[in-house]
C-alpha cells in the first residue's frame, strides 16, 4: 500500500497544475498516458545535454549512448521478467504490432486462422485483419458478453482450433477495464500450436508482468502508459523472434534485437524509460516488501503496492457511481475483475459534452471509442459518441475520487 501518497505525488510536477477553482487538476486520463516523475524528465534532459549521439561510434558520447541502449534493454527485461535480448524498442505499441504481424504473415497461408477479440484496441485487430486479407488466412473474432463486457468463454473454445496459427488478445481492455482470462486463452492457443500475441499496454500500468508466467510468445507495452516517455516496447520469446523473418535494412544484423529495431532509436526516451522503471522499483523499496534487492524484485513489489492502492480507489468509485442516477457503467462492477478504468455514460448527455464539462472544472477525462472501436460498435455506443473514460492510477487520491463522483452527480442533476 502507498502509505504516503503526498510524497508520491510530489515527484510528479504536472500534478500540481492548478485548475479553474485553484485546486490541483485531477488527472483521470491515465489510460491514454500517465504523467511522469521529475526523474524521468531529468534523465531525458541529461541525455540530450550531455550524451547525445548515434550508436556504434568511436568517441565518448557514442560510447555513452551504447550504454544507455544496453541499460534500457536491461530495464525492460526487469519490468517484464524477460531477457534483455528478447526486448525490442520502437515508436509505439501500434507500430510494433504492425511490424511483427507482417513478419508473422510471411509464414501464413490460405486456410490458416487468426483469432482476435472484440475487447481489443484496434492496434491488435487492424494489423491482423490486414494480414488475413493479404495472405488469404481466415480471421475469427471472440465475442463478448455485453452485459459485463467480458469475453464469452464459449466463443473462446469455439474460435481456437486446429487451423489456428495466431491468437491475439489484450490482457485488459483499455476502454472498459476488463481483465481477460489470459491463462485459459493461452492454454487453448498452445494446445492448438498457435502463437500467442498479447497486448499489455493497458494492464502494465496497474499490475506487474511476467512473460514467462503468462507464457507469451509476443507481448507489447507502451512506456508512456507506465510513467515514462512516448515509445513502445515489444517482448518476443527468443526462439520465436529467431524463427521470424523481419523486414529490415541490409546492414542490420540478424541478431536480436537489432533485426527488429529499424532505424535510429529514440535514445533520450530510452534514458527516460530507465528512470521510469527505476521509479517503479523505488515504490517497491519504499512501500513494498521485495523478495530481494534486485530491480526485478523491487519492480514487482512496487506494482503490488500500486495495485493495493488502486483497489481502494476502485472500490470507492464503484460504490459511489452506483448511487448516481442516470449514470451507467460498462463492465463488471467487481474490483478484482478489472483495472481502475471506467467507461461511463450519462443519460441524456453526449459523452463529448460530459468530458468537456468535467474538463472545464479541472477533471481530465477521455471520451469516444479510445481506439476500442470494435467494442464500442458492439455495445452500440459509437453513434452516440462512445463513453466517457475515467481512469485512476496510483498517484490519484481518495479525495480526487470523491471530487469526480461529486462532479458526475452534479452533471446528472444539470448543475454542471
Strand residue runs (E) in 172-296: 195-199, 218-221, 232-236
Q: Where are the domains of the chain?
A: 5-36+296-413, 42-276
pTM over 0.95, yes/no: yes
Q: Using CA atoms, how far apart are residues 222 and 210, in angstroms rounded to an integer?
A: 16
Grid coordinates representing 154 are 464459449
Q: Residue 352 contacts by C-beta under 8 Å, 6 or more apart in sequence?
A: 367, 368, 385
Domain 42-276 grouped into CATH 3.40.640.10: yes
For the purposes of burial, counting CB atoms within 10 Å of the CB of 415, is it exposed (0-12), middle (13-18) or buried (19 or more)?
Answer: exposed
**Cα separation, 156 vs 6, whole angstroms:** 44
Chunked mean pLDDT (size 10), the chain, 416 residues: 94 97 96 98 98 97 98 98 97 98 98 98 98 98 95 93 98 98 96 98 98 98 98 97 93 89 96 98 97 97 98 98 97 95 96 97 97 97 94 98 98 86
pLDDT of residue 310: 98
Can you give the pLDDT at residue 384?
Answer: 85
- CA–CA dist 258, 242 (Å, integer): 11
CATH top-level class of 5-36+296-413:
alpha beta
Contact between residue 102 and residue 88 where contact means Cβ atoms under 8 Å apart: no
In 3D, which of 55, 75, 15, 50 has the Cα closest to residue 267?
55
First to last CA, the chain: 34
pLDDT score recorded for residue 211:
98
**What is the model's pLDDT at position 252?**
87
228 close to 36: Cβ distance less than 8 angstroms: yes
pLDDT value of residue 194 = 98
Report which of 119, 156, 167, 131 is spatially closest to residue 377, judged by C-alpha positions. Answer: 119
The residue ranges of DSSP E strands in 96-145, in sequence order, are 113-117, 138-142, 144-145
327-330 β-sheet, strand order? 327-330, 341-346, 387-391, 366-368
Amino acid at each position: 500500500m502507498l502509505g504516503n501518497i503526498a510524497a508520491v505525488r510530489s515527484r510528479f510536477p504536472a500534478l500540481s497544475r492548478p485548475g479553474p477553482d485553484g485546486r490541483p487538476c485531477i488527472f483521470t486520463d491515465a489510460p491514454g498516458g500517465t504523467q511522469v516523475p521529475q526523474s524521468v524528465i531529468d534523465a531525458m534532459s541529461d541525455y540530450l545535454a550531455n550524451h547525445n549521439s548515434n550508436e556504434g561510434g568511436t568517441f565518448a558520447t557514442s560510447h555513452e549512448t551504447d550504454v544507455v541502449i544496453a541499460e534500457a534493454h536491461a530495464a525492460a527485461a526487469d519490468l517484464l521478467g524477460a531477457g534483455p535480448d528478447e526486448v525490442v524498442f520502437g515508436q509505439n505499441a501500434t507500430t510494433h504490432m504492425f511490424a511483427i504481424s507482417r513478419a508473422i504473415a510471411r509464414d501464413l497461408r490460405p486456410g490458416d486462422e487468426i483469432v482476435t477479440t472484440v475487447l481489443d484496441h484496434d492496434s491488435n485487430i487492424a494489423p491482423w485483419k490486414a494480414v488475413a486479407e493479404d495472405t488469404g488466412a481466415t480471421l475469427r473474432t471472440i465475442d463478448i458478453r455485453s452485459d459485463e463486457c467480458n469475453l464469452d468463454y464459449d466463443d473462446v473454445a469455439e474460435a481456437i482450433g486446429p487451423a489456428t496459427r495466431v491468437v491475439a488478445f489484450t490482457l485488459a481492455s483499455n476502454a472498459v477495464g476488463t481483465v481477460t482470462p489470459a491463462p485459459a486463452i493461452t492454454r487453448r492457443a498452445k494446445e492448438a500450436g498457435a502463437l500467442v500475441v498479447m497486448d499489455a499496454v493497458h494492464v502494465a500500468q496497474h499490475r506487474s508482468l511476467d512473460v514467462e508466467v503468462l507464457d507469451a510468445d509476443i507481448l507489447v507495452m507502451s512506456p508512456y502508459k507506465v510513467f515514462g516517455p512516448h515509445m513502445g516496447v515489444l517482448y518476443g520469446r527468443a526462439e520465436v523472434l529467431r524463427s521470424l523473418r523481419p523486414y529490415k535494412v541490409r546492414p542490420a544484423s540478424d541478431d536480436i534485437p537489432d533485426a527488429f529495431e529499424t532505424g535510429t532509436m529514440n535514445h533520450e526516451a530510452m534514458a527516460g524509460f530507465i528512470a521510469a522503471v527505476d521509479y517503479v522499483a523505488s515504490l517497491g523499496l519504499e512501500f513494498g516488501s521485495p523478495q530481494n534487492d534486485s530491480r526485478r524484485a523491487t519492480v514487482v513489489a512496487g506494482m503490488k503496492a500500486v495495485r493495493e492502492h488502486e483497489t481502494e480507489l476502485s472500490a470507492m468509485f464503484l460504490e459511489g457511481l452506483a448511487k448516481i442516477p442516470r449514470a451507467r457503467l460498462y463492465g463488471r462492477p467487481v474490483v478484482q475483475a478489472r483495472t481502475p478504468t471506467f467507461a461511463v455514460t450519462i443519460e441524456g448527455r453526449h459523452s463529448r459534452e460530459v468530458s468537456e464539462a468535467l474538463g472545464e472544472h479541472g477533471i481530465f477525462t477521455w471520451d469516444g471509442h479510445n481506439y476500442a472501436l470494435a467494442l464500442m460498435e458492439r455495445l452500440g455506443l459509437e453513434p452516440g459518441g462512445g463513453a466517457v473514460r475515467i481512469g485512476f492510477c496510483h498517484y490519484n487520491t481518495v479525495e480526487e475520487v470523491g471530487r469526480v463522483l461529486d462532479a458526475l452527480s452534479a452533471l446528472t442533476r444539470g448543475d454542471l
